[in-house]
Structure 1
Amino acid sequence: MPDHIKLILFHAFIGFLLSLAFVGGLLYLNIANLWHLVTHTAEGPIALIMLVVFCTITFGSAQIGFRIMMMVEENDDDESKGGKRDAIPVLDAIAIPIPVKADDRRA
Structure 2
Amino acid sequence: MPRLVRLYLVNIFFGFVLAVIFTAALIGLNVANLRHLVMSVSSGWVAVVMLVLFHSILFAGVQFAIAVMRMAEKPGGPGSGRRQPVMRNPIRVPVRAGVSRARIDPGTAHNP
Superposition TM-score, scaled by structure 2 size: 0.66
Residue type at the aligned position of 1:38: V
The residue identity in structure 1 corresponding to 2:38 is: V
Percent identity between matched residues is: 35
Q: How far off is 1:81 after superposition?
A: 4.2
Match of 2:22 in 1: 22
Cα distance in structure 1, aligned partners of 2:6 and 2:16: 15
In structure 2, relative to structure 1, the CA distance for the partners of 1:83 and 1:66 (3 Å cut) is farther
Residue 33 of structure 1: how far off its partner (Å): 1.0
Number of residue-to-residue matches in the alignment: 86
Q: Which stretches in structure 2 are left out of the alignment for 5+ residues?
A: 87-109
Question: 1:69 Cα shift?
Answer: 0.4
How far 1:40 moved relative to its partner? 1.2
The CA RMSD over aligned residues, in Å, is 2.7
- Which structure has the bigger radius of gyration? 2
TM-score by length of 1: 0.69
> Alignment partner of 1:15: what SS?
helix
**Any runs of at least 4 consecutive aligned residues in structure 1 with deviations exceeding 6 A, and if so which?**
none
SS at match of 1:73: coil
Q: Distance in 2 between matches of 1:48 and 1:20?
A: 10
CA-CA distance at 1:62 after TM superposition: 0.5
Unaligned runs of 5+ in 1: 85-92, 96-107
SS at match of 1:13: helix
